[in-house]
Structure 1
């Protein structure tokens, strides 16, 4: 197998392309699309987002110490792209993309009503790392769209049409290829022998 060597860069793909909502009391809320995001810890529940300091939302998040991670779907792809390439300094992204700012439980920052999952976050630390600063945050609560709940009370996250970002392209997730632990699970027919 022949491989090429490239200069150092980030090639960890795919990533979730999430819309991060933020806002100051008495001001118009804003949305920022972020692909540099993820889980930091399970207990306590913690996440991170990395944002360039020159972005309009950066100062809002830094000052308020809060934001909401809103998961995106194929239906939200255009809005996610728009919110990543337009500045909240110039446009009202909620209005332009016909998105609904919904009240959060613990924050002034709104949820995006059309998102199937909204994660309320409070910043615990800011790490100034270079081109981006990382906001480490505690998860305060999670909101889920009840239309994806089944009769047993299980949330069908993978039925929402989640979207990922990979090397400049948005992709809708869909085909299941396994479940956690399937590679070591005993075959029920073999175990009966």
Structure 2
């Protein structure tokens, strides 16, 4: 038997979202609204609330890097998600290492095993987020990357692919 569920709480029962550290210029934002929208050409979309400092940056720069963190970076992920880059250098505050991207003018996060350089090709306002669709221009990946080490977000907590809640 199924029961009716509150529409505004659907995000709590929806399968897990990937968590990424997105760099826009020299700022880092933690995002879980990340989705592949096309494989040919390869396009990734990210959702950012218009009140967010990173929203202003992506509007100006029209480019971003998706940095996929591992479970070892959970503290940095939480810090970047809970603090604004408006008055804070998140790279200095977290100790994350910058590396210049090869195609766009933004930092890569060296500690992340995957970095995906994207240029914004379209923007759409949908609900409480604006979606920025970026064509993938360059992908960097470490040889020992295991996608099971990536982070997921569900119902206000982080998990790994074994669905263990991370503190």
The alignment's TM-score, normalised by the length of structure 1, stands at 0.79
CA distance in 1, matches of 2:123, 2:9: 22
1:47-84 superposed Cα distances (whole Å, 9 cap, x missing partner): 00000111111111111100000111111111111111
The alignment's TM-score, normalised by the length of structure 2, stands at 0.90
CA distance in 2, matches of 1:13, 1:22: 27
1:173 aligns with 2:129: no
How many aligned positions are there?
161
> 1:163 maps to what in 2?
151
**The structure with more strand, counted as a fraction of residues:** 2
Structure 2 residue runs of 5 or longer lacking an equivalent are none
> 2:135 maps to what in 1?
138
> 1:26 maps to what in 2?
none
Contact 1:101–1:111 (8 Å) recurs in 2? yes
CA distance in 1, matches of 2:22, 2:162: 23
> 2:23 maps to what in 1?
21
Structure having the higher Rg = 1
> 1:83 maps to what in 2?
80
Structure 1 residue runs of 5 or longer lacking an equivalent are 24-28, 149-155, 176-193
CA distance in 1, matches of 2:52, 2:98: 20
